[in-house]
Chain A
Amino acid sequence: MKVLQFLFTSSIGRKVLMALTGLFLILFLVIHLMGNLQLLKHDEGYAFNKYAWFMTSNPLIKTVSYLLYATILLHAFKGLYLVFANRKARGAKSYGSYNGNANSHWTSRNMGILGTLILAFIIGHMSDFWWEYKFGDIPWTKYETSITDESTMVTDITSENHGVHIRMGVAGDKEVFITKDLYKETVEAFEEGWLVALYLLAMAAIAFHLWHGFSSAFQTLGMNHPRWNPLINGLGKAFSILVPLGFAIIPLYVYLLK
């Protein structure tokens, strides 16, 4: 592991670590969004709950999710460390007048603040949904899907004796799926206007973080080439708008239309 020590001890190494963790988080956003978009389906949460169950029970995915938590922590704490170390490099006295807008984009100069907003959101988000889903008091639902005509009967079984495990099985000509209803939990959360507003603010922070961060990660990793730069920059700008927008559509849809 000695060869990788530089990732923690040198200025360039630390930056490479930020870029690698940042790109991993970007990849994660795509997967997360694909899951979330199932909230828009008109199936009373069947697909979304099945997806949530899969994501929390599959051993491979569970391993990746622990890697993800470590990545977020590493990215956030290394990032904040860099912000403070970099501020210190200015010295005891700073400028009386500093015109940053003349030479750089404000997002690039405020990655720490944008990141802190995202971190605050992640903490709130994890306690709202992840903690609730794992340990909280959340509604239970039974889906009975006919194997012959694929019609589904949905029953709220929160007040019944539903057991502790999410499970799926076949009874007669029906597939029975008994699950914690994260769909309902989410939809109810998004009926709160203030929560939707906070969620949108966080998506804006991610958008601005990636407006700079996406292409910046490639530059950090040494990928700067006249033939590829337009593609990377274009992809970065498109990603930073479309992905947060994709996330934002869900609470907006729930709040405005349901």
Chain B
Amino acid sequence: MGSEAMKINLKVWRQPNSKAEGKFETYQLNEVSPDMSFLEMFDVLNEQLITDGGEPVAFDHDCREGICGMCSMFINGRPHGPKQGITTCQLHMRSFKDGDTIVVEPWRAQSFPVIKDLSVDRSAFDRIIASGGFVSVNTGNAVDANSILIPKDTADEAFAAATCIGCGACVAACKNSSAMLFVSAKVSQLSLLPQGKAERENRVIAMVDQMDKEGFGSCTNTGACSAECPKEIDLSNIARMNREYVRAKLVSK
């Protein structure tokens, strides 16, 4: 594209397996195009490592278009790097300068153990979903569009909450490693809509219990989660979950 190639220094967390100590390794890339995505830059690094007979850096990725939530990288002290509202695969090298040193680490949370290098085990999120993040009635065939009336505002809010991709950036950013934004997005998405309302008390209690059991921290309302969330999930979801939870604790049988 005519843009100048950049020199980039990388400090990358290397850890051969979950038991090993792990440490930062420094690498230099001399021909980085500003138009590469951050993950493509890692592909180049891995090509270089393989050519030199080294071990490529393990990192999670799948869709590379901001919808799967796999690309967990903590870049220069922030999940998914310096830009707002995007994942690592949507971050481009033009967001950095020639000669920059970039520090890349895995998500850090007791509940997200490192599997290898930058790849962490986020199955704690799956277990939270499995504990109640679903609607258990059999819905049968699709019904007529307007047979259940849902106010537009409510549908919008539920949809906004449903855009959460389960990436875990909220946990990674939070000083308490709290999963409240993720859990609250799931609780909101379901309890706002009539189909999900039926099980709202059981759901919120089960999901919060599982969240606590997994060892995530609790919320101090710092707002770091929402500021770093690639889908910009709003803090009002956490307030809603707190409301739902206290209500369920006080009124459910």
Residues of A within 8 A of B (CB): 3, 6, 10-16, 82, 85-100, 102-105, 108-109, 111, 212, 216, 219-225
Contacts and interface: CB of A to CB of B under 8 A. Distances in A.
A89 B111 contact: yes
A220 B108 contact: no
Given A219-B239, A222-B239, A13 B77 contact: no
A11 B220 contact: no
A12 B223 contact: no
Nearest to B24: A96
Contacts of A14: 218
B188 to A, nearest CB: 12
B233 to A, nearest CB: 13
A82 B178 CA distance: 12
A222 B243 contact: yes
Contact of A216 (B24, B208, B220, B246): B220
A219 B180 CA distance: 13
Contact of A224 (B109, B222, B236, B250): B236
B111 to A, nearest CB: 7
B224 A100 contact: yes
A103 B246 CA distance: 28
Contacts of B78: 99, 102-103
Interface string B220-238: 1111100110000001101
5 contacts: A15-B242, A89-B217, A104-B222, A220-B239, A225-B236
B211 A11 contact: yes
B176 interface: yes
B246 A12 contact: yes
Closest 7 CB pairs of A and B: A99-B77, A222-B243, A89-B217, A224-B239, A86-B176, A91-B110, A11-B218
Residue of B109, B176, B235 with most chain A CB atoms under a 10 A cut-off: B176
Interface string B162-175: 00000000000101
Contact of A95 (B108, B110, B236): B108
B242 A220 contact: yes
B231 to A, nearest CB: 15
Contacts of A95: 74, 77, 105, 108
B195 interface: no
B100 interface: no
A105 B13 contact: no
B10 interface: no
B240 interface: yes
A13 B243 CA distance: 11
Given A86-B217, A104-B222, 6 more contacts: A11-B212, A99-B78, A108-B220, A222-B242, A222-B243, A225-B236
A88 B249 CA distance: 27
B220 A10 contact: no
A159 to B, nearest CB: 54
B243 A100 contact: no
B245 interface: yes
Contacts of B55: none
Contacts of B74: 95
